[in-house]
Amino acid sequence: MAVRALRGATTLDEDTPEQMRTRVKALFAALFERNGLEPDDVISIFLTATPDIRSTFPATAARAFGLDDVALLGAQELDVDDAMPRCVRVLLHIETDRPRAELKHVFLEGAAQLRPDLSRSD
């Protein structure tokens, strides 16, 4: 099996722990569904959040999705002028037999604007 990387992102309408759990769980659900993943396929996950997110860690929401035995690392995005607000990004390292071209990256909510070419749900 090859080690591949999947990207994804979502945004929050408001900075609350409930919204973080809801949006991050939806992001992981879409990544897993569109790519036929199981939790054992995931090697590690790198999560980032924009500096305006202060209510909770994205990794807490990832664990609530059922990834409590996966290595998670969180970081803060650069504080760049005109950056998308309240944005959470993920990078999953997975084991898969699928070629890179068949992987489906997922960008939800406002984050779909970041990569419209990768935001299709097909």
The CATH number for 111's domain is 3.30.1330.40
How many structural domains does the chain have?
1
| Alpha-carbon gap, residue 39 to 111, rounded angstroms | 24
pLDDT for 114 equals 84
What residue numbers bound the domain in which 42 lies? 2-118
> Contact at 8 Å (CB) between 53 and 88?
yes
Angle formed at CA 57 by CA 49 and CA 73, multiple of 5 degrees = 75
Provide the strand spans (E) within 1-122. 2-11, 42-49, 71-76, 87-96, 106-107
Q: Give CA–CA dist 81/46, Å, rounded.
A: 23
Stated pTM of the model: 0.92
DSSP 17-47: HHHHHHHHHHHHHHHHHHHT--GGGEEEEEE
Specify the pLDDT at position 120.
59
User: What is the identity of the amino acid at 89?
Assistant: R
pLDDT of residue 1: 84
pLDDT of residue 121: 56
Q: In a structure prediction context, what are the per-residue pLDDT tens digits for the chain, which is 122 residues long? A: 899 999 999 999 999 999 999 999 999 999 999 999 999 999 999 999 999 999 999 999 999 998 889 999 999 999 999 999 999 999 999 999 999 999 999 999 988 888 777 665 55
